[in-house]
Amino acid sequence: MIVRGPLWRSLIGLGLLAGAPLSIPAFAQPVAPSPEAPTGRTAKSTSVATKDMVAAANPLAAQAGREILAAGGSAADAAVAVQLVLNLVEPQSSGIGGGAFMVFWDGTAMTTLDGREKAPAAAKPERFLGPDGKPMKFYDAVVGGRSVGVPGTIRLIEIAHKKWGKLPWKQVIEPAIRLAENGFTISPRLNGLLSQEKYLQNDPLARAYFYDAEGKPKAVGTVLKNPAFAQTLRAIADKGADAFYTGDIAQDIVATVTGHAINPGDMTLDDLKSYVVEERPAVCGPYRVYKICGMGPPSSGQIAVQQILGVLETQDMAAMKPGPDAVHWISEAGRLAFADRGLYVADPAFVSVPVKGLTDPGYLKSRAALVDPNKSMGKAKPGEPPFQKTFLWGASDGIEYGTSHMSIVDRNGNAVSMTTTIEDGFGARLMTKSGFLLNNELTDFSFTTVEDGKPVANRVEANKRPRSSMAPTIVLDNGNKLYAVVGSPGGSLIINYVAKTLVGILDWKLDPQVAADLPNIGSRNGPTELEAGTESEAWKAALEAKGHDVKLIDQNSGIHAIVVTPAGLIGGADSRREGVAIGN
């Protein structure tokens, strides 16, 4: 059942959502289109379903997930279908040429799978330095084979299916094969991003696929077929992910990466063959009566979200309500979190990341004590987390805009929170003959190798995974029951998007649609960032009076969230993008 609009409001009125009344503050009503968002905003109403739900970045992908859930598939089955369809319909953001993190809840245990790309064995720290020893310009590094990491997504979804799938592997791949063979229509967002794109046309296969003979992006509504991808999926359906990591597809990937005329990479068949998905302990921490769980290193996502929440926990956020005071606390907490993130977090196989200390409630209390309620601290310094000593390093950060997040709950109460990426929009701008784009994830490494005389934690090294900000999150209630599934794309802004949405749902008792659509705000230890074109602009003066250096910037989140209530599942899909939340 899907009910839009009035019913969820009446559910809220009846106090059925998590036993707590939810409300919609005036400032959170749909706002005027923000000029930066490539496809603008579409006001969306909350979705309600009784059995299961999927919230994903494109209607065709969400529909594929819903079809699998309706057939009795698990959240993991649906995630496979959603991911493979996203590869077709939202190719700019994720696919089998990229990497992903999945958080899975099976009703009793929380498991995380790390399908992050890794650097080839030949990679060296100076990979992104020019001949002058200075960091390369971002797009000089991105476009071509140099930035391509060994993809992890297909092995990740295969493992998730083996662990938690109920339907046959071939069946969960079928919706994507169908769309690849029969075609799907180009969405306004894909068309809009192709129009803005500068580099993709230089790749002959991508040009032929996405653009017409005159070099114009194929129009919205054009039916696009991808027989090469259909063939790739059939091979994977028959032989599993091995068909990707060895044989013809692997050879195609290596040839594409190493054959780039200007900026070739060094990936080998051995790099592909030796790729493994890591199962890692979930990083969980308390917030009020809830338990927040997510992905540990090499992602900085959950650590940073937990650090922000740990500072906010010292305040009565519910009483504060959205506005300048809330932004003050959230952005000060963000500064502290990003200062630690820059120094401490990288691939745990290379760096001993003090996860326990960084998320320790006592440590976070001591960090909260650094916040002056009346004045911004400006730039935060990293702290000294307890328990674990570690060698130290310099910071580095980039802003990226690719990626996709899906939230899924099945009828047995299993949940998937998965953030999946090819890094920048359209990745390395390299299309394989096998019908998919390759990632540029290696530019998530620090380009510089040494700062303040110390090696940078997130520098490039052979077989290392670049630090991520992706924060697929699952929230449990005080009875250890599934309460919410949340995540977003957005590069390092993901951390602030997820923290904001959690405060919206958990403190302000907003339904997930309204929480996702709240203005994005926060700080990454630089300026205090308010979302241009939203009501938050009105908070600028009050923040400046507290010493904040305020910047209004585009904050094009893609938050997909589901909340479990006694009345059913309530879902929200960020109005800034074209996703939907639908269920049965």
Determine whether the annotation assigns residue 491 to a binding site.
yes
Q: Min. distance of Cβ 498 from ligand GLU in angstroms?
A: 11
Q: Which residues bind ligand GLU (CB under 6 A)?
A: 400-403, 421, 423, 441, 444, 468-470, 489-491, 494
Q: Which is nearer to ligand GLU, 400 or 511 (CB)?
A: 400
User: How many angstroms separate the Cα of 468 from the Cα of each of 79, 301, 331, 493?
Assistant: 21, 7, 20, 11
Give least dist CB 276 to ligand GLU, A: 19
Chain centroid to CA 482: 20
Residue 467 annotated as part of some ligand binding site: no
Q: How far apart (Å, rounded) are the C-alpha atoms in residues 168 and 158?
A: 11
212 labeled part of a ligand binding site? no
Q: Within 10 A of 215 (CB to CB), how many other CB atoms are there? A: 8
Q: Is 468 one of the annotated binding-site residues?
A: yes
CB 458 within 8 A of CB 445: yes
| Closest separation in Å from C-beta 116 to ligand GLU | 8
134 CB neighbour count, 10 Å cutoff:
10
User: Distance between CA atoms of 164 and 159, rounded to whole angstroms?
Assistant: 8
* Catalytic (active site) residue 268: no
Q: 286-296: buried (b, 16+ CB within 10 Å) or exposed (e) per residue? A: ebeebbbbbbb
347: region left, alpha or beta (phi > 0 left; psi from -120 to 50 alpha): beta
Nearer to ligand GLU, 402 or 572 (CB): 402
| Shortest Cβ 401–ligand GLU spacing (Å) | 5
Q: Which is nearer to ligand GLU, 266 or 400 (CB)?
A: 400
For the four alpha carbons of 444, 446, 447 and 449, in that order, the dihedral sign comes to: negative
For residue 418, the SS3 value is strand
SS3 label, residue 53: strand
Burial of residue 408, with CB atoms counted within 10 A of its CB: 0-12 exposed, 13-18 middle, 19 or more buried: buried
CB 404 within 8 A of CB 55: no
Element holding 195 (H helix, E strand): helix 188-196
Nearer to ligand GLU (CB atom), residue 38 or residue 324: 38
How does DSSP classify residue 519? P
Among 46, 403, 419, 534, the one annotated catalytic: 403
Q: Which is nearer to ligand GLU, 139 or 211 (CB)?
A: 139
| Min dist. Cβ of residue 472 to ligand GLU (A) | 11
Report the SS3 class of residue 524: coil
Is 66 known to sit in a ligand binding site? no
Nearest residue (CB) to ligand GLU, 116 versus 328:
116
| Cα 89–Cα 532–Cα 325 angle in degrees, nearest 5 | 120
| Nearest distance in Å: CB 402, ligand GLU | 4
What residues are labeled active site? Answer: 403
Which residues line the annotated binding site for L-glutamate?
A: 116, 444, 468-469, 491
Which residues line the annotated binding site?
A: 116, 444, 468-469, 491
